[in-house]
Structure 1
């Protein structure tokens, strides 16, 4: 009797977990269908090529081309993730491998606390401190620029990279470290050739999540990037003001008439953003699998 009850309980738990997993897939599917339904008209009316690669976004003339927004999002993402990687991964190595326990117990909760700060607060800090500093340092007009957006979002992405990378490095079995040291490797050689390759999948996951946060951030980037839909000149001019896909949706959705071309074009941006994030996830998974295979063969 007790064995049957145990089997029923385990089967119930399995079914509940299966339902939870299916539910998440269904929710994502419904989101994608809704975005496609609302955004398809923009692709049909503007033309797929003109809508994606068009160089002008002007609601006054009904001209909607996403290229300046795509370039702006790309520049901010590259700058922010690069900034977060350069500072985040060394910080994670320090916390997990080098920091004394007393210091680590203080620093890690502090880093995790940064994740709980609302993005609008980061935006206010960016307006008050960051824009002023950039304006005075680089003799800019007002400081609004892709550089300001990159630095601000890089700081916001730091806790994600540091926390997850730290957990991945800490999870590397202690036996691997001791075996490397026993063979005569120095502490740094052990970290570089044993610990980091073993933790690479977790580090890749942290970078992927950081990219997702940067691409999806709206309020903070709106306050510092300038919200001007134009191409940077030259192409990688981080000191010029511009716009991103998410910032454009937030700045215009409130005034877009439901059912208008502007309304559907904003949903079209959402469709492209969802596709980009999905592709990035697939690419990151493929890279992670290849790295794991390479490390396994090594």
Structure 2
């Protein structure tokens, strides 16, 4: 190996180590600030408690966990079918002119600040829900719709690339055996692109559960257990974003502890979803 190649290799290694170090330092900081509160208050009382009242020293985050889960599931239920359908259309059906027109629009969606999505939800989605369901409008449903729109670029772009990366011989073989174009897409191309599509869903999941500003503007931010998707709620990220500015002492530690739960929650979801392709492959 030449000298300049060794130098480049060392530089790249340093870059990789810096990224790992950054994640490690963030993790250590959150653990240092949040673990004492969890140890004092009790893990199960903290995670399973239904009352969040910092002035009374009560820090139950179950309502925020439920709010985050319901909002994220709702966003994926809306966004995943639309996103994958759009990716299939762009990769397999649309003409080149349509693809050239739509791809920049989809990329533009990815670059819009989250506060703009929040304003749209506040002025369009919330009033529509208020009129349609005769309630206050601020709800889990409003949050799910906004998050579904926000994750569409991630799902569409990654799924489209995964579908395009499937070798053309797969479709040609299916068509040669008598399958129609649509049958080849459903039975051959989509299964072959499964890992890429699942990666798109995982990234969309991370984007949805980690969103803060847009959700704060439309979900209602009530720290109580929601009984339906038409009721207001509060997410884990929203809880941190709303209260961190004025929190201190034990209250601040409780917010850092909330960050720990969110961090672990995302890790568990990612590990679980990443195991799906292996299990399917084993069958």
Per-residue Cα deviation, 1:153-196 (whole angstroms, up to 9, x for no partner): 11101111011101110111112111221122111111111111
Q: Is 1:43 aligned with 2:34?
A: no
Matches of 1:288 and 1:41, distance apart in 2: 38
Q: Is 1:57 aligned with 2:28?
A: no
CA drift at 1:129: 0.6
**What is aligned with 2:204?**
210
In structure 2, stretches of 5+ residues that fail to align are none
Q: Is 1:244 aligned with 2:238?
A: no
**Which of 140, 155, 160 matches 2:154?**
160
**What is aligned with 2:272?**
283
Number of aligned residue pairs? 283
CA drift at 1:42: 1.4
Matches of 2:273 and 2:4, distance apart in 1: 37
Per-residue Cα deviation, 1:15-56 (whole angstroms, up to 9, x for no partner): 222222222222111111100000012102211110110010
Matched residue SS, 2:207? helix
Question: TM-score, structure 1 length as denominator?
Answer: 0.92
Q: How does 1:1-80 map to 2 (within 5 A)?
A: 7-80=2-75
Per-residue Cα deviation, 1:208-246 (whole angstroms, up to 9, x for no partner): 00000011100000010001000112xxx1000010000
Matched residue SS, 1:115? helix
In structure 1, stretches of 5+ residues that fail to align are 1-5
CA drift at 1:11: 2.2
Q: How does 1:1-298 map to 2 (within 5 A)?
A: 7-140=2-135, 142-233=136-227, 237-257=228-248, 260-291=249-280, 293-294=281-282
Matches of 1:136 and 1:124, distance apart in 2: 18
CA drift at 1:10: 2.3
Matches of 1:8 and 1:187, distance apart in 2: 53
CA drift at 1:134: 0.5
Question: TM-score, structure 2 length as denominator?
Answer: 0.97
Matches of 1:290 and 1:27, distance apart in 2: 32
Matches of 1:273 and 1:144, distance apart in 2: 23
Matches of 1:58 and 1:31, distance apart in 2: 27
Matches of 1:250 and 1:36, distance apart in 2: 18
Matches of 1:49 and 1:28, distance apart in 2: 27
Matches of 1:136 and 1:129, distance apart in 2: 11
**What is aligned with 1:3?**
none
